[in-house]
Structure 1
Amino acid sequence: MGETLGIDLELEAQEKSVGPFRADILCKDIGTGSWVLVENQLERTDHSHLGQLLTYASGLEAVTIVWIAARFTEEHRSTLDWLNKITDESFRFFGLEVELWRIGDSPAAPKFNIVSKPNDWSRSVAQAARAIDESELSDTRLKQRSYWDAFHQALDKAAGPVSGARKPQPQSWMGYSIGRTGFNLGAVMIRPKRQIRAELYIAGDLAKSFFHLLQEQKQAIEQELGYELDWEELPTRRDCRISVYMTKVDPEDERDWPRQHEWLAAKVNDLHRAFLNRVRELDADEWQKERQAGGATGQEATEI
């Protein structure tokens, strides 16, 4: 769904209370920090779900609302179009029809078709959803915020190009600028896999093109760093990342935080030094021309 909408999403909650109702899925737009509420309806759209969407919109100050259904009636599609027209830029309404598709012998996968979207889809949300109240933070979220607070102290101590002068967030990642839209350095904790990760994250419609241009410099970059990177094209997603991992670690073990943070600070600064100028000099037209000249091959998708 995030790939279809062009939004990088992080799951926040299921069955989230909004007034007397419960939203099916609550996500966070990683790019803006704003809420994305998803209402699922595995049948034709009806007035009851439309009323719930309006309740969600009134219950939050700024939100993207996604209505997923097997089929939209013309009346409900036109209603979403009207809502996008009359509301200010704090709100975005999307209508998605879901299908199942199979490529060759692969397992069936959902395919989303956009039937309604904001008039100016690329506009930025003016204001993130209301800040999370301290009382609403779980123990996990509080621990995450403490983790990044300590990490920022390690960044400042390292005195590298990446500054720790940022407000720690109660989430599993932190992002840092590298001077070009669509590119961010990231520090990530992956608690279920007992990993932490430093990365260059590449987002946007040209992410694949930029990724391949950087990959052509793989040998020089890794030689400069002195270690290998994971070049993750993420074929099922729009975005890509280039990363390095520390494994067999427990981000919840505060006694081990100094070691983890020293490693993360070193790697985030390494990536900044290695990629700063390379990112600025990227020209996607170069890769697009090479790709078009080489032709394209693929396998047709069949609907089931």
Structure 2
Amino acid sequence: MDRSIAEIEEHELRSVWENEERDFTRWLTENIDLLSAELGIEIEDARAEEAIGDFSADIVAREMNTGETIVIENQYSKTDHDHLGKLLTYSAGKRAGFTMWLAEEFRPEHRSVLEWLNESGPKDVKFFAIKPRVVSIEGSEKRGFEFEVIVEPNDWERELSDEESLTETEKGYKEFFAYLVEAYAERRPSWYKLTPGPRGYMTFSAGITGVSFGWVFHQGPEFSIELYISTSEKERNEAIFETLQDDREEIESNLDVELVWQQLPEKQACRIKWPKPIEGKITDLTPEQQAELIEWGVDAMDIFQDEVEPRVAELQGSDL
């Protein structure tokens, strides 16, 4: 072995987060976008310790594209029957579309249960076994973090990437956002270039975990530029929204447009959007209409980001 290449060392989760419920679960709730990126889905409205009957699930969230409920059960050390029972109870109680068990080590029999459920269980539920790992380079005090997917639904990777499995609408979204991403990256060369997916939205961070800019297709139909505020705490979301709303007159004057301010009391999140009516669904739009929409989306996001991003940055160091 080349001794110039250091080995990777793995550490217990409690070496960073002492308590699973109080520390790790709440950290994961606030950084749920890391799990989103690993699995290739959009997770929003993550809430810790949500009540289900007389019990409480570690994390309950929502998949933004499908609206399906996500249930996450966390466990330090090796998996056991008690946590398996909780996982299935919470999943059934919430009628979850995604059920995720995070643990440091999976017993073979528990892996087999999740594989069997993906093979023979409810067809509308996807089961995952995921190992969260704290790692470091040999001799270094710095810690890194990653997820290792141990069990996933059958053909999950193919489902995410296989063009043949996509509907015409999903193909339309993916192609539209591919062109939009290229155009926005050309406008802002330093912007982190996103990978388009088969969904009716494209989001990127606004500087605070849980707060993002987005291009979104909505019913109406309409296409909008927006700021979506969805941290793990409803009160914090509302405080950020209200702080920005205090500057509404100035923001709208600078943009020369009247925005739509939605506190969304029925949800955990809040939204500020700049909508544009369109002629129909993505599959109804002509190439010329799509090109015009992309041009508008680039121009509008460019000035919207310039106006709003510094205001969000000021909130990063505040009590919000």
TM-score (norm 1): 0.55
- Matches of residues 157-176 of structure 1 in structure 2 within 5 Å? 157=186, 159-160=187-188, 163=191, 165-176=193-204
CA distance in 2, matches of 1:151, 1:186: 12
CA contact (8 A) 1:162 1:272 kept: no
Partner of 1:185: 213
CA pair 200-167 structure 1, distance change in 2 beyond 3 A = same
CA pair 200-69 structure 1, distance change in 2 beyond 3 A = closer
Q: Is 1:148–2:148 an aligned residue pair?
A: no
- Matches of residues 5-44 of structure 1 in structure 2 within 5 Å? 5=59, 7-12=61-66, 27=68, 36=70
Partner of 1:136: 165
**One-letter amino acid of the structure 1 residue matched with residue 166 of structure 2:** L
Q: Structure 2 regions of 5+ residues with no counterpart?
A: 1-43, 51-58, 73-83, 115-129, 133-144
Partner of 2:17: none
**One-letter amino acid of the structure 2 residue matched with residue 174 of structure 1:** M
CA distance in 1, matches of 2:252, 2:164: 45
Q: Is 1:257–2:290 an aligned residue pair?
A: yes
Q: Is 1:201–2:228 an aligned residue pair?
A: yes
SS of the residue aligned with 1:268?
helix
CA distance in 2, matches of 1:245, 1:155: 18
* CA offsets 1:101-152 (integer angstroms, 9 cap, x no match): xxxxxxxxxxxxxxxxx9x9xx996559743233321221111100101212
SS of the residue aligned with 2:289?
helix
CA distance in 1, matches of 2:246, 2:301: 21
- Matches of residues 1-304 of structure 1 in structure 2 within 5 Å? 5=59, 7-12=61-66, 27=68, 36=70, 66-68=91-93, 130-131=156-157, 132=160, 133-157=162-186, 159-160=187-188, 163=191, 165-190=193-218, 192-204=219-231, 205=233, 206-250=236-280, 251-252=282-283, 253=285, 254-282=287-315
CA pair 85-165 structure 1, distance change in 2 beyond 3 A = closer
CA pair 185-67 structure 1, distance change in 2 beyond 3 A = same
Q: Structure 1 regions of 5+ residues with no counterpart?
A: 13-25, 30-35, 39-49, 55-64, 71-79, 94-117, 288-304
CA distance in 1, matches of 2:194, 2:94: 40
CA distance in 2, matches of 1:217, 1:160: 26
SS of the residue aligned with 2:315?
coil
CA contact (8 A) 2:61 2:71 kept: no
CA distance in 2, matches of 1:6, 1:201: 19
Q: Quote the offset at 1:286 in angstroms.
A: 5.9
CA distance in 2, matches of 1:143, 1:163: 24
Runs of 4+ in structure 1 off by over 4 angstroms are: 1-6, 83-88, 123-129, 283-287
TM-score (norm 2): 0.53
Range with greater deviation from structure 2 (141-150 or 127-136): 127-136
* CA offsets 1:206-235 (integer angstroms, 9 cap, x no match): 111111111111111111111111111111
CA pair 162-217 structure 1, distance change in 2 beyond 3 A = farther
CA distance in 2, matches of 1:139, 1:261: 19
CA pair 68-280 structure 1, distance change in 2 beyond 3 A = same
Q: Quote the offset at 1:246 in angstroms.
A: 0.4
More helix by share: 2
CA contact (8 A) 1:161 1:269 kept: no
Query: Percent identity over the alignment?
Result: 21
* CA offsets 1:251-277 (integer angstroms, 9 cap, x no match): 331330111111111121122101111
**One-letter amino acid of the structure 1 residue matched with residue 270 of structure 2:** C
